[in-house]
Amino acid sequence: MHSRKIFILSFIFIAVLCSFCLTSTEVHSQEKTVYIAEINDESINSGTSHFVGEALSLAERHSTPLIIKLDTPGGLLRPTKEIVDGILNSNTTVVCWVSPEGAYAYSAGTYILMSSNIAVMDKATTIGAAEPQPHDNKTVEAMSGWIREIAESRGRPGSIAEEFVIKNRTMGVEEALQENMIDLIATSNDEVLEYLELPSYRLEKVKRSPVGALLGILSTPQVAIILLIIGMLGIAAEIVTGGVGFPGIAGGFCLLLALIGLMVLEISVLGLILTILGVILLGVELFEPGFGVFGIAGAIMLFLGVLIIGEEPWVQISGIFVKIAAVCLVAIFVAFIWVVKKSTGKEIKTGMESMVGMEGEVVRKIDPEGVIRVRGERWSAVSDVEIEEGEEVVVKSITRRGGVTTLVVEKKSEV
């Protein structure tokens, strides 16, 4: 049974690693094809960056334009820069189209739109609101300079682009066209293809690969932190129950996914350290009577750690959700500790103390000293009565005799 559980754990680990070797499903391109990648009502994260990178590579391999449909409230800075760099350095024509009607490309979406060869907006769409978070002078200056360079590299007015950052300005369709921030207003695929002078070409949608989908989920800070906490809870539950069961397997799997997510995020080192220390201290509280300094310090560190990680460089931030998540996670962990302690009614034993109550076998006659085997290990043992080799015993306590750890045992039949 033990070997089977180890095999299951190994299989899960290998399966996750192997998923990174998968690539997107690619339908063989035929002649007269234009690829289209859709970013539909989602924040820009590492999954988005991976998806756009695959789409750019696909379009370049087949020497065809790429249309990126944008509908986003913003997102993380590093993936945004990766997408912008990929578009600026692409050998193919990239069209960024804010669509469908009523969509918006705020914050990170505006940077991406400015980097495109051809910028297009649908009716009733909006761009702008690119003020960074945090919006201190240094960050605002850096981001406004960056968007200015991006816009001017595509022949768009840099001074107006700066206002998206400095003044948090937004812009509708007609104004964007009038200010030369976009090249076209289009409401259908045919209009975009007509502008590209490719009216007879067909559109082929780029599919997301399993890797891109996984990264899109894991690279959301809140998801990564929730997985981290669930993983720690699973491991803690496994320590309490012993053995290798579902809590340990699930906890280990969640920890693996959390670490993958944290590695691709622009997380604060301080925030990560505080989060880990908080979880460790709350874990220590499991093995301490009452709810004392370890639990209080751990709860505070966990709360602050999640807040700091959640405040990392989002171009568009959702601070309220982060705070609510932090409070909920701390509450769940504290409740878990309380339930465990209440159910056990005593201090949880670890290390040597965990051997008390275990059964063993005498391998050298006890009279009054001898040797027993417990958990496959040989230990010195003493007893008030003579116990023959091969008899079963129960560990009653642990002591030290002559500097040697010695188990005090009784015959199993007498217990």
Q: What is the pLDDT of residue 348?
A: 46
Confidence band (pLDDT; 50, 70, 90) for 322? low
Residue 31 above 70 pLDDT?
no
Query: How does the average pLDDT of the chain come out, rounded?
Result: 80
Encoded tokens for 267? 């997380």
* Cβ-contact 310, 270 below 8 angstroms: no
Q: What is the pLDDT of residue 4?
A: 47
What percent of the chain clears pLDDT 70, i.e. is strictly above it?
Answer: 70
Encoded tokens for 196? 């590209």
What percent of the chain clears pLDDT 90, i.e. is strictly above it?
Answer: 42
What is this structure's pTM? 0.63
Q: What is the pLDDT of residue 213?
A: 77
Q: Residue 225 in 3-state DSSP? A: helix
Q: What is the pLDDT of residue 314?
A: 47
Encoded tokens for 92? 């193919």
pLDDT tens by residue, 50-60: 999 999 999 99
Q: What is the mean pLDDT of residues 258-272?
A: 65
Peptide bond into 79 cis (omega under 30): no
Q: What is the pLDDT of residue 109?
A: 96
Residue 137 above 50 pLDDT?
yes
Q: What is the pLDDT of residue 338?
A: 64
Task: Please indicate whether residue 395 or residue 19 has the higher confidence score (pLDDT).
Answer: 395
pLDDT tens by residue, 334-381: 666 666 555 554 444 545 666 788 889 999 999 889 999 887 778 889
Sheet order of strands, 170-172 included: 104-106, 126-128, 170-172
Confidence band (pLDDT; 50, 70, 90) for 262? low
What does the alpha-carbon distance between residue 301 and residue 277 come to, in Å, rounded to a whole number? 7
- HEC sequence for 151-202: HHHCCCCHHHHHHHHHCCCEEEHHHHHHCCCCCEECCCHHHHHHHCCCCCCE
- Other C-beta atoms closer than 10 Å to the C-beta of 387 total 24
Q: What is the pLDDT of residue 128?
A: 96
| Length of the chain measured in residues | 415
Residue 154 above 80 pLDDT?
yes
Residue 408 above 60 pLDDT?
yes
Confidence band (pLDDT; 50, 70, 90) for 251? confident
Q: What is the pLDDT of residue 223?
A: 77
CB within 8 Å of 135: residues ≥ 6 apart:
none
Residue 187 above 60 pLDDT?
yes
Minimum mean pLDDT range among 84-93, 96-105, 315-324, 331-340: 315-324
Nearest CA to 286 among 233, 330, 247, 324? 233
Residue 16 above 70 pLDDT?
no
Q: What is the pLDDT of residue 256?
A: 79
Q: What is the pLDDT of residue 23?
A: 38
Q: What is the pLDDT of residue 12?
A: 52
Residue 7 above 90 pLDDT?
no
Q: What is the pLDDT of residue 169?
A: 96
